[in-house]
């Protein structure tokens, strides 16, 4: 399997020739690029958890802090069996890029625990979350590193971690974690923010392409928080969502799917494969979904979904990346040669970290906004980011990803040079 971190480094390499001419001091530029292709540090943890039966189990855990030239480290914590050093290094790199694309004052981080949370009781999950926060306490904080939810974590876990952290430092510090429940200082609109940011990107793209949204068919691979909210919001906005999948497989209806009805059925039956035939026409595999001839394909699960092995089968006109790193560089080359636009993850899913930034600001100021104000501010940032990337793409005749990376890497490198670190 392709290394996610190797992909992240290659994406930076792909735009260095575009950027280099803008710097008189080539040595400083090359030094900054070299530093940008590795994290500042990776923290390795071993968590010893006493399970409900009194048995001690050990879990590996990580926190990669990539770059803080533009602000404190920022990034999620995931609980998943496939968490690895390579993965968190890649994801923290993408977070640095994503924050710079959005123009918010954070650098990138990412953490995780190697665990299948489905195998733990709620009390075990709480103890594991608490352990992780306790072990990380000296390395995080509102001006140091601000974790958030990611795969298989949410507001509940952030609440547990915040409590553990505050007991260690001895004072209230809600801005240390984002994605918290509203009752603990979380922001209105945070739950749906990533999906909503993706919708704003789609709306901007459709407007530029002058396509009628009623004619657009969408297939979404992945039905966690991001996939669900994107599907729900896109459907409500007038787009036709014809296919959705989870890890077991998916459902398809050429007339469009009722997202709310599907959600209720999935909650009742567990997976799409177990659903009774109601509200869809047929069951499909994930490969069939990825290769379906739709207008917009939305990978919204894990990284390395679209590879050189399946890229040739992609028939969508546009790929809108809601997952982190779903398209490998080799696959991207194939898709671009086929004339398929790829709207990159560092733009499309930046809504989550943007509203996390709003949450951080609200926590630090003690002044809180309503959901309408949050969504208006999010739209303003997403619209501005899309416009900047689109204009750069046209100006330099490069891909959407190259355009996003060119803007972001320049912002990070400029900050590094101004600090004297490059």
Helix (H) or strand (E) holding 245: strand 240-246
Report the alpha-carbon distance of residue 419 to residue 415 in Å, rounded.
6
110 is catalytic: yes
Q: State whether the Cα torsion 235-353-296-292 is positive or negative.
A: negative
* Cα distances (angstroms) measured from residue 395 to each of 146, 218, 221, 388: 36, 29, 32, 11
Structure token pair of residue 84: 């690895």
Report the alpha-carbon distance of residue 404 to residue 387 in Å, rounded.
11
Question: Among residues 127, 130, 95, 126, which one has the least CA distance to residue 109?
Answer: 95
**Catalytic residue selected from 89, 110, 266, 393:** 110
DSSP state of 350: T
Q: Side by side, which strands form the sheet with 296-299? A: 282-284, 249-252, 240-246, 217-221, 296-299, 318-320, 341-343
Beta strands in 105-197 (DSSP E): 107-114, 145-149
Structure token pair of residue 109: 């981080």
Report the alpha-carbon distance of residue 351 to residue 242 in Å, rounded.
24
Report the alpha-carbon distance of residue 155 to residue 177 in Å, rounded.
10
Question: Among residues 6, 102, 15, which one has the least CA distance to residue 398?
Answer: 15
Report the alpha-carbon distance of residue 5 to residue 85 in Å, rounded.
9
The answer to whether the annotation marks 194 as part of a ligand binding site is yes
Got the DSSP string for 220-237? EE--SHHHHHHHHHHHHT
Report the alpha-carbon distance of residue 50 to residue 165 in Å, rounded.
20
Question: Among residues 101, 162, 193, 170, which one has the least CA distance to residue 363?
Answer: 162
The answer to whether the annotation marks 130 as part of a ligand binding site is no
The answer to whether the annotation marks 98 as part of a ligand binding site is yes
Contact 285, 310 (CB under 8 A): no
Q: Which residues are annotated as a binding site?
A: 74, 98, 194, 225, 356
Q: Which residues are annotated as a binding site for NAD(+)?
A: 194, 225
Q: Which residues are annotated as a binding site for substrate?
A: 74, 98, 356
Enumerate the active-site residues: 110
């Amino acid at each position: 399997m392709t290394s996610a971190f190797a992909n992240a480094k290659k994406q930076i390499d792909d735009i260095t020739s575009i950027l280099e001419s803008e710097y008189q001091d080539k040595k400083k530029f090359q030094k900054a690029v070299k530093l940008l292709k590795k994290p500042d540090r990776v923290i390795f943890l071993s968590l010893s958890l006493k399970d409900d039966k009194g048995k001690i189990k050990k879990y590996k855990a990580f926190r990669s802090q990539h770059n803080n030239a533009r602000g404190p480290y920022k990034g999620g914590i995931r609980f998943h069996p496939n968490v690895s050093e390579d993965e968190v290094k890649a994801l923290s790199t993408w977070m640095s890029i994503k924050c710079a694309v959005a123009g918010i004052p954070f650098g990138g981080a990412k953490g995780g625990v190697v665990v299948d949370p489905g195998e733990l009781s709620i009390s075990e999950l709480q103890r594991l979350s608490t352990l992780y926060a306790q072990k990380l306490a000296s390395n995080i904080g509102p001006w140091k590193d601000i974790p958030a939810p990611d795969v298989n974590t949410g507001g509940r876990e952030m609440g547990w971690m915040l409590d553990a952290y505050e007991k260690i430092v001895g004072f209230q510090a809600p801005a240390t974690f984002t994605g918290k429940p509203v009752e603990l200082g979380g922001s209105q609109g945070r739950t749906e923010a990533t999906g909503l940011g993706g919708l704003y990107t789609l709306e901007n793209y459709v407007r530029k392409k002058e396509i009628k949204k009623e004619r657009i068919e969408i297939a979404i691979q992945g039905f966690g928080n991001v996939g669900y909210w994107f599907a729900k919001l896109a459907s409500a906005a007038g787009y036709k969502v014809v296919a959705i999948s989870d890890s077991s497989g998916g459902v398809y209806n050429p007339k469009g799917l009722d997202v709310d009805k599907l959600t209720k059925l999935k909650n009742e039956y567990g997976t799409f494969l177990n659903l009774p035939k109601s509200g869809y026409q047929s069951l499909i595999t994930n490969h069939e979904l990825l290769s379906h001839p739709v207008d917009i394909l939305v990978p919204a699960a894990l990284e390395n979904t679209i590879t050189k092995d399946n890229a040739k089968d992609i028939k969508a006109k546009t790929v809108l990346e809601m997952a982190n790193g779903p398209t490998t560089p080799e696959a991207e080359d194939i898709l671009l040669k086929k004339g398929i636009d790829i709207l990159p993850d560092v733009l499309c899913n930046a809504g989550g970290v943007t509203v996390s930034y709003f949450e951080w600001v609200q926590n630090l100021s003690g002044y809180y906004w309503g959901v309408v104000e949050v969504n208006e501010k999010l739209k303003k940032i997403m619209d501005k980011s899309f416009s900047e990337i689109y204009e750069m793409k046209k100006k330099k005749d490069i891909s959407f990803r190259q355009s996003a990376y060119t803007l972001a890497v320049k912002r990070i490198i400029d900050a590094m040079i101004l600090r004297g670190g490059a």
